[in-house]
């Protein structure tokens, strides 16, 4: 079995939604004559890099990330390529992509939309249509993951895809790096940090070949 890391590095260069917190790290303690350890202070958004959205992020009554069942983030996952999907991935395109790898009832789906993950903020990233989310839910899907900053367009005020996820009680991974992952079925291992009461948490997302 091979481990594939699908987590982009988090640094001051990490693209963020305009207005969101830019990553910073400060060394507070440093190894020296009077100190045996290095210790750093981090300042970052809960949505920096690869992360799991909690229902609280997109619904006032949603659970925070520490109360979400982590089993959704571990298990078989289908990776599909939809780099030519245009503004949004719809139900039909997703159905065809899954059919191409002979997957009919995926528990987890990871969608690659970029040929290469951009190094700067991209306002026009590919979103996921609510119809695609609703169809996945009907197939018993528990989690959807994307290589973009959000399931919905950057300027969305209605959050249709996120709301469809909420109604289906699915889970979300965003900001994955899938440039180097071939279409197929893998084991996903990507539990979020247990950050009490918060709307999202970073993950170290891994795929393992089956």
Q: What angle do CA 139, 113, 128 make, to 5 degrees?
A: 45
Block residue for tokens 């100190």? 35
pLDDT in tens, 172-209: 999 999 999 999 999 999 999 999 999 999 999 999 99
Is this prediction's pTM over 0.85? Answer: yes
Q: Residue ranges of the domains in the chain? A: 46-209
Residues 90, 160: Cα–Cα separation, whole Å: 13
> Is 57 tagged catalytic?
yes
Block residue for tokens 């950057």? 154
The pair phi, psi for residue 7, each rounded to 5°, is -110, 120
pLDDT in tens, 61-90: 999 999 999 999 999 999 999 999 999 999
**Catalytic residue chosen out of the listed positions 57, 81, 96, 162:** 57
- Which of 99, 67, 55, 61 has the alpha carbon at shortest distance from 80? 99
Q: What CATH number has the domain spanning 46-209?
A: 3.50.30.50
- Which distant-in-sequence residues (6+ apart) come within 8 Å of 62 by Cβ? 54, 55, 56, 166
């Amino acid at each position: 079995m091979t481990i594939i890391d699908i987590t982009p590095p988090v640094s001051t260069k990490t693209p963020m939604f305009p207005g969101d917190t830019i990553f910073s790290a400060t060394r507070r303690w440093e190894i020296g004559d009077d100190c045996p350890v290095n210790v750093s202070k981090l300042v970052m958004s809960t949505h920096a890099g690869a992360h799991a959205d909690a229902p609280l992020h997109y619904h006032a009554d949603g659970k925070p990330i520490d109360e979400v069942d982590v089993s959704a983030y571990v298990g078989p996952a289908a990776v599909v390529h939809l780099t030519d999907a245009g503004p949004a991935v719809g139900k039909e395109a997703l159905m065809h992509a899954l059919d191409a790898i002979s997957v009919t009832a995926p528990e987890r789906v990871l969608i690659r939309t970029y040929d290469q993950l951009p190094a700067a903020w991209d306002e026009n990233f590919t979103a996921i249509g609510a119809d695609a989310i609703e169809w996945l839910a009907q197939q018993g899907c528990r989690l959807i993951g994307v290589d973009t900053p959000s399931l919905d367009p950057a300027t969305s005020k209605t959050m249709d895809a996120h709301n469809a996820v909420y109604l289906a009680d699915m889970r979300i991974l965003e900001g994955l790096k899938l440039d180097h992952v071939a279409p197929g079925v893998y084991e996903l291992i990507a539990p979020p940090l247990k950050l009490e009461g918060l709307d999202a948490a970073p993950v170290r997302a891994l795929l393992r070949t089956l």
